[in-house]
Chain A
């Protein structure tokens, strides 16, 4: 099973600041790393698939990078509506499909 470790647990920033979220895999997942956003009380929403491809309707301030075992989700200029928990997921090797523990972004 591929274990995903996200850091930090919580990120506290001000509007307009840059947010950098990390996801590290216990073994290579190639480029098959996905990011989701979950706002309080809502279902998760797909943000980025396969490292760097933004899903439909996702603003350009969200970007992803990385390869192998180390990945980053960047929010270039934080907006109040970006307050959420962000999860990474690997889809290279399954079952099981695995998620990271999440990073909470607060303002």
Chain B
């Protein structure tokens, strides 16, 4: 059974930093692109970042470029999102999502999400 378990969310002041983690199990981690997708309170879904199987290719939405860093540890079957210079508009539930196989960039499995609140 595929499982994605996020952790690391919480309350942080504007300008602060946070590191999200996603523990993956139930599938061959190194076969899949991995992603972060977020959802602001009461709003829709927004893709944040993606990383390829060996970590050599990373993509970001424009508003987080230079502030967020996606990474993975294939030995630990883990995905990370380092978030710096946080803004109030980054407040959202952050989901870890596994892409389908190969280069199919849609989200086949999702974690339950971790809430990040940026507020003073």
Contact = CB atoms under 8 A, between A and B. Distances in A.
Given A43-B95, A43-B112, A49-B100, A94 B44 contact: no
A38 B104 CA distance: 21
Interface in A52-105: 55, 87, 89, 91, 94-102
Contact of B108 (A42, A43, A46): A46
A44 B95 contact: yes
Interface in B63-112: 95, 100, 104-112
Given A34-B106, A44-B107, A97-B105, A87 B45 contact: yes
A75 to B, nearest CB: 20
A45 interface: yes
Given A43-B95, A44-B95, A99 B107 contact: no
A99 B47 contact: yes
The main secondary structure of chain A at its interface with chain B is loop
Contacts of B37: 44
Interface stretch (B10-18, B23-31, B54-62): B54-62
Given A94-B105, A100-B44, A102-B44, A43 B113 contact: yes
B44 A97 contact: no
B47 A44 contact: no
Interface of A: 34, 36, 38, 42-46, 49, 55, 87, 89, 91, 94-102
Given A45-B110, A94-B59, A97-B105, 5 more contacts: A43-B110, A49-B104, A95-B60, A97-B50, A99-B47
21 contacts: A43-B111, A44-B95, A44-B107, A45-B110, A46-B107, A46-B109, A49-B106, A89-B106, A89-B107, A91-B105, A95-B47, A95-B50, A95-B60, A95-B61, A96-B61, A96-B62, A97-B50, A99-B46, A100-B44, A102-B44, A102-B45
